[in-house]
Amino acid sequence: MNSGKTLFAQLMDLLPWSTFTRIVARYGGDERVRTLSCAEHYRAMAFAQLTYRESLRDIETCLSVQASKLYSMGFRDPVRRSTLADANEARDWRIYAELAQRLIVQARKLYLNEDLGLDLANTVYALDSTTIDLCLAVFPWAHFRTTKACPWRKQGAAVKMHTLLDLRGNIPSFIHVSDGKLHDVHALDLLLPEAGAIYVMDRGYVDFGRLHGLHLAGAFFVTRAKSNMDAHRVYSAPTDRATGIICDQTIALDGHYTSQSYSQHLRRIRFHDPESLKTLIFLTNHFGLPAATICALYKSRWQVELFFKWIKQHLRIKRFFGTSENAVKTQIWIAVSVYVLVAIVKKRLNLDASLYTLLQILSVTLFEKMPINQTLAGGDPRSDTAQINNQLNLFTY
């Protein structure tokens, strides 16, 4: 890395800009644009994510105090909040979605051999969604139903982020942003099943017609059974109850519609969790793995919940810089791309620090001119002598 560049410029150099230029040209992102190109728009929004800016005015103020460094950071002109607001409204969000997808492809290759903690060669995905609450008066396009817990409340607004997380490295391999009304199970219609892969999901995704589609594609699934599932036991395999496995059964569905949607046998595992003291019932179409491994796979689904919690806490996707659907999706996709970019840097530089620690370091050093590998690794490229000479001498007067 060039130590003469700011850390922000070094980080941005890792992006596939030639690919980004082709994406921009495909969607006509820079047509009739005189100031703030799509590349500069991305840089400004990425800067906001990395430094935890709260508003467009906040972005403008923070960049304006470093005016002498803007050109080296990739900005031809000062960034104005009105121009940035217009870009959020007008630039097609699919430009930034495609860039994020390209980064995801890179990241998944880097984390391909990451240890899952399980003796598995299969790719393992966790599928889930998170709801981001909005104000209906400000975001009228994002209608959302009232909650069951509060039926007296007026209709609200929300967006949903449906995510398929590759558990090797916790890299999102698929993301779909929809309004809050789209039920989770419809996300299965948007997936392209990967033969041999294992999809772990909660019981909100139990739709036997759609699960049968995964089965026909050669993929495996692990989920939980609903309490009203109608099925009968065909065969019971021996189990060791000391491990918490109460039963390991082959079953057939008995429901009129479910038996037509999924005519093959399924595997049902009843497991007693010693920590929560709850009994969980898992369903899968994988008959070759030990029952304990199936239980461990479902437990690993919690990684996608941690991903949602992490990205909501450490990136700006709960407070939006624009109110249109395009602005919201643009901000979400740029936030995802920043997350994946930092994950790529962590792997390429072989850093032991967590993504949270790396983001904290970047948030306070983006304007510094020092090698990024030394900064993120915790080293100081400046000599001790230089630091001593820069100290104020209190005893010279």
pLDDT of residue 145: 66
DSSP letters for 317-368:
-SS-S--SHHHHHHHHHHHHHHHHHHHHHHHHTT--S-HHHHHHHHHHHTT-
The token pair at 390 is: 């820069």
Q: State how far the Cα of 319 lies from the Cα of 298, in Å rounded to an integer.
A: 32
Cβ neighbours for 231, distance < 8 A, ≥ 6 positions apart = 251, 252, 253, 254, 255, 266, 268
pLDDT of residue 152: 46
Give the amino acid at 214: L
pLDDT in tens, the chain (397 residues): 455 788 999 999 999 999 999 999 999 999 988 888 999 999 999 999 999 888 899 999 999 988 888 888 888 888 999 999 999 999 999 999 999 999 999 999 999 888 887 888 889 999 999 988 887 777 878 877 655 545 545 567 888 999 999 998 888 999 999 888 889 999 999 999 999 999 999 999 999 999 999 999 999 999 999 989 999 999 999 988 888 999 999 999 999 999 999 999 999 999 998 888 899 999 999 999 999 999 999 999 988 888 888 888 777 777 788 888 999 999 999 999 999 999 999 999 998 888 888 988 998 888 888 888 888 886 444 433 333 334 333 333 3
Q: State how far the Cα of 278 lies from the Cα of 272, in Å rounded to an integer.
A: 6
Domain ranges of the chain: 7-95+321-381, 203-300
93, HSE (Cβ side, Cα atoms, 13 Å): 18
Q: Give the residue from 271, 294, 276, 292 showing the smallest Cα distance to 284.
A: 294
Q: Say how many C-beta atoms besides its own lie within 10 A of residue 158's C-beta.
A: 19
The token pair at 179 is: 């309004």
344, HSE (Cβ side, Cα atoms, 13 Å): 22
Question: Which runs of consecutive H residues, i.e. helices, occur in 3-92?
Answer: 7-12, 17-27, 38-51, 56-64, 81-90
124, HSE (Cβ side, Cα atoms, 13 Å): 29
Helix, strand, or coil (residue 297): helix
The token pair at 44 is: 């400004």
Answer yes or no: are the C-beta atoms of 6 and 47 closer than 8 Å.
no
Looking up tokens 């936030």 gives 335
Q: Give the residue from 120, 104, 130 showing the smallest Cα distance to 310.
A: 130
Answer yes or no: are the C-beta atoms of 307 and 172 closer than 8 Å.
yes
